[in-house]
A and B are shown apart, each in its own frame.
Chain A
């Protein structure tokens, strides 16, 4: 019941943001990933790291989890706002 109530709310919000042409990453707190080739990823709007190995990095965002998979993954820097992952990225998965 509770779940049913939430869905239309986020839908309404999305609609509002979309019609007013507001940037969705700011208003909805959506994840923003900038990939440079397969070696670098620059990520904004996340909550935190859930798991970190050199094969995969799992990030918690506001609405979902994102998993970066690859090899020799390392975090160049990690702050409250953004982070940079470098290494050989083979796939990005939303869970």
Chain B
């Protein structure tokens, strides 16, 4: 710190010789002139003193009969005049300062933190609609309005805070963790449960509605399993009216299903020739600066690597560089052998079965066979599965007819 201050104010290295240099030093200290790094070099003394005090030496020199010569000059006061002469350097310095000052008036980075459901893309489009983009003036940003808009547009956002730190706009949002309660439309007319497959009913638990089938029954696709119209009887066991409910039941149906997967005999494999070409580019904001280049190979794929130096990322400078690596390849036609086809097809079947099991379908039996047909390997899997069935089908508004029939009955 002291050194820095000395440097800022400028100091000199001087040489003192003559009648009594010791007296010269004593007088200096008496007049509160600080001397440092005093060294004896033969007959002369070398010492440092500040630029200001150098101008006060005249009388002391006269008094003591010594002579003083400047050896070296240090510090900013000596450096500045030199700098003034370097016009281009100075212009660069001024330009840099100006550039930093002007560029700090804009937003250079927008960060979104805390989004899980809202995708970055949808938020970006929202920001575009709000006219908030990288490179906009800081002054034209209304943070409160932005926060309000976020809450208005994204209903799942419960809390939001936008913060401008330097040239970076940081938007923190908090989404509602609890599932959004979607109000089910109140259905006045009820719904039947209809079977989707042909099969045998293994078990059934009915919660609401009138069951039309029982365990062990063979049912066909489209059969009504549970009716949503519950009859209300008169005292004489005639039907007075129907009450409509949403039929609800767990019905386990055992049915057969077949899965067929196929695989062509031949396939095209990428064989890399090993020849690669790399092209570098610089990205400034949205713009990409690169050298124009024709397509490097006849058939190729490209690998893009992009990185942003940490310093730029921290400072919020949207500058990054990257490279394209073009890799040439040839399309080679290959044929699957039986064992290869077997493994690939059985994998396909297995993934299908896994998805079935994830859905809660129990697999009771499985018969798999591989065959060839029309230049293809074909795998057939006959499955016997048990799964929950029943799709809701809204009852057509026959309320009138029912009431009519009701009246008929009454009559």
Contacts and interface: CB of A to CB of B under 8 A. Distances in A.
Interface of B: 21-23, 25-26, 28-30, 32, 34-40, 45, 47
Nearest to B21: A52
Contacts of B29: 48, 78-80
Nearest to B30: A80
A11 interface: no
Nearest to B32: A80
Interface residues of A, number: 15
A78 B22 CA distance: 11
Contacts of B35: 75, 77-79
A48 B22 contact: yes
B32 A78 contact: no
Contacts of A49: 22, 25-26
Interface in A18-76: 47-54, 74-76
Nearest to B41: A54
A52 B30 contact: no
A78 B40 contact: no
28 contacts: A48-B25, A50-B22, A51-B22, A52-B21, A52-B22, A52-B25, A52-B40, A54-B39, A54-B40, A74-B38, A74-B39, A74-B40, A75-B35, A75-B36, A75-B38, A75-B39, A76-B37, A76-B38, A77-B36, A77-B37, A77-B38, A78-B25, A78-B28, A78-B34, A78-B36, A79-B34, A79-B35, A80-B30
Nearest to B33: A79
Contacts, number: 53
A46 B362 CA distance: 104
A9 B317 CA distance: 78
B63 to A, nearest CB: 14
B200 to A, nearest CB: 102
A74 B37 contact: yes
A52 B36 contact: no
A79 B25 CA distance: 9
A74 B29 CA distance: 16
Nearest to A54: B40
A45 B198 CA distance: 114
Contacts of B40: 52-54, 74
8 closest A-B pairs by beta carbon, nearest first, are: A48-B26, A75-B38, A77-B36, A78-B35, A80-B29, A49-B22, A74-B39, A54-B40
Contacts of A47: 26
Contacts of B36: 75-78
A79 B34 CA distance: 5
Q: Which of B25, B29, B35, B47 has the most CB of A within 10 A?
A: B29
B47 to A, nearest CB: 8
B48 to A, nearest CB: 9
Contacts of A76: 36-38
A72 to B, nearest CB: 9
Contacts of A52: 21-22, 25, 38, 40, 45
B30 A78 contact: no
Q: Which of A49, A51, A53, A76 has the most CB of B within 10 A?
A: A49
Contacts of B32: 79-80
A75 B34 CA distance: 12
A48 B25 CA distance: 8
Q: Which of B26, B32, B45 has the most CB of A within 10 A?
A: B26
Contacts of A77: 34-38
A16 to B, nearest CB: 29
A75 B37 CA distance: 6
B17 to A, nearest CB: 13
B20 to A, nearest CB: 10
Q: Which of A47, A48, A54 has the most CB of B within 10 A?
A: A48
Given A47-B26, A80-B32, 9 more contacts: A48-B22, A48-B23, A49-B22, A52-B21, A52-B25, A52-B38, A54-B39, A75-B35, A78-B25
